Every structure is written in C-alpha cells, then in structure tokens.
Amino acid sequence: MECRHEHITRRASRAIARMVLFARTVRDVRASQVGARALLVTKRHARRLLRTAAPNAATVNVQPLPICIYEPLDVRGRFLETANNATRGVFRFLEREVRFDGRIDWRCTAESQLWRFYLNYCAVTLDLAQAFRVTGDLRYVDALREHIESWIRENRLMIGDPWAPYTASLRVVNWIIACGAVWDSLADSASFVSTLAQSVHVHLTFIKRNLEYDVRCNHLLENIKALIVGGIFLQAGGSGAPYFQLGRKLLVDQLKEQVLPDGGHCERSIMYHSVVLEDLLVIYEACQCADVVPPVELSDGILRMAQFLKGMTLPDGNIPLLNDSVEEGALSPEALIRWAMRVLGAELPSSSRSVHYADSGYVRVETPTGDVLLFDVGETGPKYQPGHGHADTLSIIWALSDGSPILIDPGVYEYVAGPWRDYFRGTRAHNTVQVDEQNSTEVWASFRAARKARILTSGLERLSTAVHVFGQHDGYARLPGEPLHRRDIYLFDNSTLLVLDTLTGSGTHLLESRQHFHPDCSVMPEAGIGYRIRNGHHSVRLRFLTPGDVSCFVGLTEPILGWFAPRFGHREPCPCVTWKGRVRLPYRTGFVLSMHDESLPFGYDVGRIRLPFDRAGELDNIRLGQL
C-alpha cells in the first residue's frame, strides 16, 4: 500500500512540475499563436472526423507556367543514387532505408514522424529531374510523373502527416521546380500536366486556409513561398493571382520579423538560416521567371542573409551546428552565396575578421593565421518560438585555418522527445559552464523552453595582441544564491585561447565546465598539466586554471555525455573533457588551449592571471578561484 502511495505521489509531482513548465513556457507565447493553434487543431480534427477529401479542381481554369530554377538541382549530391533507388521503390531518410514493394505507403506508421515528413516532401522529384538532365534517360521523367501521381492518388483524404501545412508547402514547390526542369519532356503528357496543375491549386487553397500562425518563423515562410511560387505557376489562367498577392503581402511582413538587422535569422540556427535564405532565392527566381518585379525588401533580405552566412561559415566551408543544425540540412554556404550573388548581380562586401553580430547574438573572431572562434552570446531564439534553440548560452566553437575542427557544437540527433533530444538541447552537451546540473535555459519536450537565459552584457574589443570577447547571462539566477555567469575570452594572435568564467552570487554550488572535441581528435592526459589534443598533424594543449576534478568521457549512455550528431539519425562518440568543482561563489575558473608548447602570451601563477595589455597605465591582473 505504501509503495503504491509513493508511486501515485511521484506521478502527481511530475504532473505538477510539467504544468509549471508549461505555464512558464506559454507566458512568452503570443495570444495570436494560441488562437491560431486552437483553430488549426480544430480544423485538423474536423477533417479527420468528416474524412474530408481533396476537392475536385477540374472546373478551375489552370494554365501552368513552367518555372525553371536549376540551382537547387545542380548542387544536389548523390542524386543519381537517390533517383535510381526511387525507381525501385527505395527511399532513405535520416539514416534509415525503407523499400516499398508496389505502391508507396505515404502514411507508413512504422517510421518516425520526421521520416514520414521527409517522404511526403517529395524532394526525390528533384533528384529524378536532375538525373534526367544529366543522363537524358526518360525513365527518370516517367518515375517523376508516377511519383507525383501516386501521391495525388493515395492522398485524397486531407488528413495526417501528408496534409500537414508545412509538408504540403514544401511538396508543392518541389513538384513545381522538378517539373519545370523537365517541362519539355512532359509536353506529350497533357493529362498529367492538368492533374498536376489542379493538385497545385488544391494545395494552395489548403495552405491559404491553414497558414501556420501558431508556429510562425520558418514554417510560416514555407507557407508563403508555396503561395508565391504556386501562384506564379497558375497565374496564366488567372487562378493563381489571389495566392500570389497574399503571399507577397505576407512575405514583406515576415522579412521584417524574421531577418534581423545584422542579417541573421530570428531562430538563431544556421541550418534554418540557410533554409530560409534558399526559400528567398527560390521566390526571387520564380518572380524573375514570370517577369514579376520582386519586392525591394526581398533583395535586401537576401543580401544581408548571405553576408551573415559568409561570416558564420567555418574554415572547412561547413556551417557551425549551433542550436538545431545538421550539416546536410540545407544547401552549402558556398552554393547559397554563389546563388545569391548571381541573382542579385553583386558581390558581397568584405567584412572584418572579427565581428559581433549583436542582433543575432554571435561573435566571430579570426586570427591572422585564419583560425576561427565562434561565441554564442545570444538569446535562445524568439521568445514566442524557441523550439529550435538549445541551452547553450556562452558556448564556443573553435576551428583551425585548414578546416580542422577542434571544439565543436553537438548538432542534432533527432526531434523525437526523449533522453537523446533532451541531451542534445541541454547545457551538458555544449562548451560552457553548467551550475548545479541545471540547464541555463529550461528546455523540455521536443521544442519547448520555459525560463530562458537572458544576455545581460556582451561585446568585442581589439587589444594589442589579442581579441577580447565577453558575455554574461542570468540563466542560473533562478537557483539559490542567484548565480550569474560571465565569460571572458582572449584569442591571441598566436592562436592561444584563454577562457575565464566568473560566477557571481552566493552559496556553494557545483560547477561543471565542459569542452567537446571533434571525433577526429584524440585526447590524452598529460601529468600535472592537463590534456594533449591531436587532430591530424595539429597538437593542442588544454590546461585548467583552478583545482578540480578533471575527466575525459567518450560516448557515455548512462548518463549521456560525449556525443556528436552531424546528421539527423546519426550520432558518434566524441571526447568531452570536464572540469568539476563544488565551490563557494563568487568564483572564477577557466582554461587555456594553446597551439604552442613555449611560454604562454600572458603571465600565470597559481591563483592569478596577468594579461599583457596596458589599460590606463596598469596591466590586467586577474584573480582566480574564490573571489
């Protein structure tokens, strides 16, 4: 009886805690979002109960205008393999391959929702179109046509994942671009072209009635792109004009909301930044195909986003995996920037090696030799939509000039709620300080965040032989003693990295400072010094500046620690060096990463750092340990 009572008590406590988290989450959500979610959910349930079927658009005057946008096709990797697999009913998404014998099961419930989304995006039509363009083999056109016809035939009921507004928006644009690339080969398929145009009309009507004002951000922009591109596709018969006009109006509004003054995207994910930039480029090209003058705000947004993306690209040409980001989730920075410069007919202006993107909350510092440090001093994301944000405030990434990654961000393994989603969003997966085993931002579920860390100060200054960047946040102020975390980083011209973490407040707290190294790095302890990190011919020494328990973990599962997920559905172990100490605040700790074994470019004694910078006639003299 007592055990049952304890079980009920625990369940009640968890339920109350979840209700409190939910209350803290929704306080930042706009009232319009709550109303939009209620309406969309009501419509979704109504379609399921009534078994609503897609309307017959045969009476609509649809005269499609082919939209020829080749850039998304030209940069596709492994398109022949993907196209050949598709002709055999084989589809691979998120590191998982599924074979369909005969018809495609568009609602395959055995797979994850994200896998089903990928299937219903119909992006394989782009691979089939590109395979035809390269080989001239008409069987790829036949497979493309059958793929689209199969979807239309099997999804007449407007229910489930195939008819999610986001999925529908991506799919209809993929169809239009893929068919535009092989349009001449569809000339003898009048019935298919008619079926396609009618389904596009049905899609646009559905999207217009189900705009994602609840989620907003990149989801709403995908809806807008579908309305504009689909509206242009149907404009010859006049049926597309209402969709185009609505999309154009919403686009101007969303550019103001989503593209920050410094060019970053409001969700602070470089992957979704790249996705949105591609969306804007597709819209721009579609307008040009129809001799429609794009809004001035569109070209300005493309330019600023391309400039920001260039600044945030790592030396190896990849994006940093900040917040929800994976390496193959969007076109490469090189492809996007080249595309942007082509359509705008301009070159990107040169930028400083060291830049503080104050609106987005990122700092990029580059040494004279080309090594790059990225520093996160920004918000989790928009307060009303932090779903793709991580509890990574004041985390850092460090990569060498030849592209060799040293300190990494973890990436994303999956979006399904559970321990792996919790880990990759949590503070313990990032290169920053964790206090009392709590997250700096209360991330929970798949896409929720309650109390969010706020940046109190941040900045960048150039000193004689180094760049100094700093930031402070209040994410732990909710804990007893109200700790605040300030991080000061000095990146010296000889690529020595000095990181100082100051925790103010009161009381005794457990501090954990973690550094995650790329899986290609080997990490070996050096007695009395710290760790030696090697990546190829590069050798880096890590040393901590205050006493504490120091350990290296690789690929732990209980508890989860030391993992890297560069692609959805794929994870691999990586070395994580952790310094841990139970200390009384205020307290200052830190570490040094140096490329050279000779003396450091600053003075260091036990309990004190002496920086070689003359400020008002005095050298910086910084105490370590308890302050």
- What pTM was estimated for this model as a whole? 0.96
What phi and psi values does residue 244 have, to the nearest 5 degrees?
-60, -45
Cβ burial 77-88 (10 Å sphere, 16+ → b, else e): eebeebbbbbbe
Over residues 76-107, the pLDDT tens digits come to 889 999 999 999 999 999 999 999 998 999 99
Q: What is the sign, positive or negative, of the torsion defined by CA atoms of 364, 365, 367, 368?
A: positive
Helix axes 190-209, 217-233, angle to 10 degrees: 140
Query: 44-344 — its CATH code?
Result: 1.50.10.100
CA distances from 247 to 251, 385, 493, 527, 600 (A): 6, 22, 49, 63, 57
Q: What is the pLDDT of residue 203?
A: 98
Quickly state the pLDDT bin for 394 (edges 50, 70, 90): very high
Q: What is the pLDDT of residue 310?
A: 97
Domains 44-344 and 355-626 belong to one CATH topology = no
Contact 602, 499 (CB under 8 A): no
Q: What is the pLDDT of residue 558?
A: 95
**Own/partner pairs for 364-367, CB < 8 Å, 24+ apart?**
364/311, 364/312, 365/460, 365/467, 365/469, 365/491, 367/401, 367/491, 367/492, 367/493, 367/494, 367/495
Over residues 196-220, the pLDDT tens digits come to 999 999 999 999 999 999 999 999 9
CA distances from 235 to 242, 286, 365 (A): 9, 12, 48
Query: In the chain, what are the domain boundaries?
Result: 1-43, 44-344, 355-626
Angle made by CA atoms 563, 564, 565, in degrees to the nearest 5: 125
Give the whole-angstrom CA distance, residue 459 versus residue 375: 11
Over residues 590-617, the pLDDT tens digits come to 999 998 766 789 988 888 999 988 665 4
Alpha helix (H) residue ranges in 187-332? 190-209, 217-233, 241-258, 270-289, 296-312
Over residues 463-496, the pLDDT tens digits come to 989 999 999 999 999 999 999 999 999 999 999 9
Taking 60 as the threshold, does the pLDDT of residue 618 lie above it?
Answer: no
In this structure, the strands spanning 570-573 and 563-567 are antiparallel
Q: What is the pLDDT of residue 615?
A: 62
Helix (H, G, I), strand (E, B) or coil at 479: coil
Give the whole-angstrom CA distance, residue 49 versus residue 65: 36
Give the whole-angstrom CA distance, residue 269 versus residue 323: 5
Architecture of domain 355-626: Distorted Sandwich (2.70)
